Amino acid sequence: MNIIIVGCGKLGSVLANDLSSAGHNISVIDNNSECLNVLGSGFNGVKIKGIEYDNEILQEAGISTADVVLAVTRDENINITVSLIAKNIYKTPRIIARIVNPNRGYIYENLDIETVNPTLICSGILENKISDIKGVNHI
Amino acid sequence: MKSLIIGGGKVGYYLLKTLTERQYDVVLIERDRNTCTDIAQDIDSNIIYGDGTDIDVLKDAGIEEAEVVAAVTGSDEENLVICKIAKSIFNVSKTITRVNNPKNIAMFKALGVDKAVCSTEVIANLIEYEFDQENCKIIQTFERGSMILVEIKIDKDNEWNDNLIKDLDLPNECVLTSILRNEKVIYPRGNVRILENDNILVITSQVGLSELKKQSRKGGIGNARNKKRY
């Protein structure tokens, strides 16, 4: 699959390395070249430095033939903007955005953008773990 | 009519000031507390401290009654998100946004923002189309420079001088809109004679403008038909 990953922070870089090793064609976009360097020499996808929602940058990343766009920057507004461009202008088949601030989930919902919410997922797991400990203690 | 301004930078500040002076019902949202205090000291108006992409802040500011939302922060992506929220959640009828990078104008329009204003591009266009000749002046550009309002000053040697409008050989994409003569406005009809010292306002396109330029290089603006016969 052709996958564009927007944002090369911790989440983006791990995703990029994993998906690339799994044999997908990956383009990673980030405005900070130091973040892109984190990917290391093992990464055999395309690295692009530039404004994440810039038309030329997105085209260079191959947005017109992309199967999936993953908007996982740390900036809510950039994630939304990239998702809207992919959805409305390039009709990308699958777009998933990362919710940075859980309180802002309604924006994505309202604009009909598929999301993951790492904060909620993580806090859910933590809560479960704690309740496990309690359970053990009770016995 | 109630309007909402998001972003208290230079654009937001003067927008708030101007609209307040004109007695409009305006509210400004700014996310920097110090900036809010500074503006509040200068302008007697409604200023709300908060993030303009936060639904509760927007409700506080009265977005539900607002007819116009102007997003004028320095970040294009933030402006876009604000306009999308205003449109899709609150059904605001008019959204206006400041575009910092002219490259983003097309994207904003494609994504359904009603009006995208880019001062960078407006100024760039003004410079680009500024005539070399002193008798021509760009007054205003519309739709990213596809329509241009030009003022032409008629001096004694101008080819248009002492000609009837119907005898002028105008480019296709060019309309004379008015003539200013001794501080009076004359509506140009075919039988109006152009005189020295007239200021003529012309609406034209980029193509029309370059034709006007070409004609002027041949010796004056426009070749009156009677000249052509020679």
Residue B17 vs residues B41, B45, B50: alpha-carbon distances, Å: 12, 8, 19
Is A107 in Cβ contact with B107 (below 8 Å)? no
Mean pLDDT, range B63-85, rounded to an integer: 94
Q: Which domain holds residue A18?
A: 2-138
Determine the length of chain B. Answer: 230
Separation of alpha carbons A34 and A5, rounded Å: 16
- Contact of B109 with chain A, judged by CB distance below 8 Å, is answered with no
Residues B196 and B219 in one domain: yes
For residue range B32-61, list pLDDT tens digits in order. Answer: 999 999 999 999 999 999 999 999 999 999
Average pLDDT, chain B: 85
Mean pLDDT, range B111-129, rounded to an integer: 81
The pLDDT, as a whole number, for residue A91 is 95
Average pLDDT, chain A: 92
Residue A17 vs residues A23, A58, B109: alpha-carbon distances, Å: 10, 20, 35
Residues of B in contact with A54 (CB under 8 A): 103-104
Distance of CA A73 to the CA centre of its chain: 6
Is B54 in Cβ contact with A110 (below 8 Å)? no
Q: Which residue has the higher pLDDT, B154 or B64?
A: B64
Q: Which of B81, B96, B117 is the last residue of a domain?
A: B117
The pLDDT, as a whole number, for residue B227 is 44
| Confidence check: pLDDT of A45 > 60 | yes
Q: Which range among B70-84, B114-128, B170-184 has the greatest average pLDDT?
A: B70-84
SS3 string, B36-71, reads HHHHHHHCCCEEEECCCCCHHHHHHCCHHHCCEEEE
The pLDDT, as a whole number, for residue B216 is 60
Q: Which of B100, B117, B134 is the last residue of a domain?
A: B117
- Return the CA Rg of chain A: 17
Separation of alpha carbons A111 and A103, rounded Å: 15
Residues B143 and B91 in one domain: no
The CATH number for A14's domain is 3.40.50.720
Separation of alpha carbons B74 and B78, rounded Å: 8
Mutate to test the interface with B, among A107, A109, A113 (most CBs of B within 10 A): A107
Tokens 């109006």: give the residue: B192
How many structural domains does chain B have?
A: 2
Q: Which domain holds residue B62?
A: 2-117
Residues B109 and B8 in one domain: yes
Residues B47 and B101 in one domain: yes
Give how far A106 is from chain B: nearest CA, Å. 9
The pLDDT, as a whole number, for residue B131 is 54
The pLDDT, as a whole number, for residue B225 is 45
Separation of alpha carbons B27 and B67, rounded Å: 12
Q: Which of B64, B85, B117 is the last residue of a domain?
A: B117
Q: What percent of chain B has pLDDT over 90?
A: 51
Handedness of CA B146, B151, B155, B160 (dihedral sign): positive
The pLDDT, as a whole number, for residue B56 is 92
Which among B77, B85, B107 has CB closest to A107? B85
Residues B133 and B111 in one domain: no
The CATH number for B63's domain is 3.40.50.720
Separation of alpha carbons B110 and A53, rounded Å: 13
Mean pLDDT, range B150-176, rounded to an integer: 86
Separation of alpha carbons A52 and A31, rounded Å: 7
Separation of alpha carbons B20 and B64, rounded Å: 20
Residues of A in contact with B71 (CB under 8 A): none
Mean pLDDT, range A34-48, rounded to an integer: 90
Structure token pair of residue B184: 């009076």
For residue range B123-136, list pLDDT tens digits in order. Answer: 877 776 665 555 77
Tokens 């053990």: give the residue: A136
For residue range A56-84, list pLDDT tens digits in order. Answer: 999 999 999 999 999 999 999 999 999 99
Tell me the pLDDT band of B217, cut-offs 50, 70 and 90. low
- Contact of B57 with chain A, judged by CB distance below 8 Å, is answered with no
Q: Which residue has the higher pLDDT, B114 or A132?
A: B114
Residues of B in contact with A84 (CB under 8 A): 80, 84, 111
Tokens 């500074």: give the residue: B38
Mean pLDDT, range A26-47, rounded to an integer: 91
Largest CA-CA distance found in chain A, in angstroms, rounded = 61
ipTM metric: 0.84
The pLDDT, as a whole number, for residue B208 is 86
- Contact of B73 with chain A, judged by CB distance below 8 Å, is answered with no
Residues of A in contact with B58 (CB under 8 A): none
User: Is B197 in a helix, a strand, or coil?
Assistant: coil
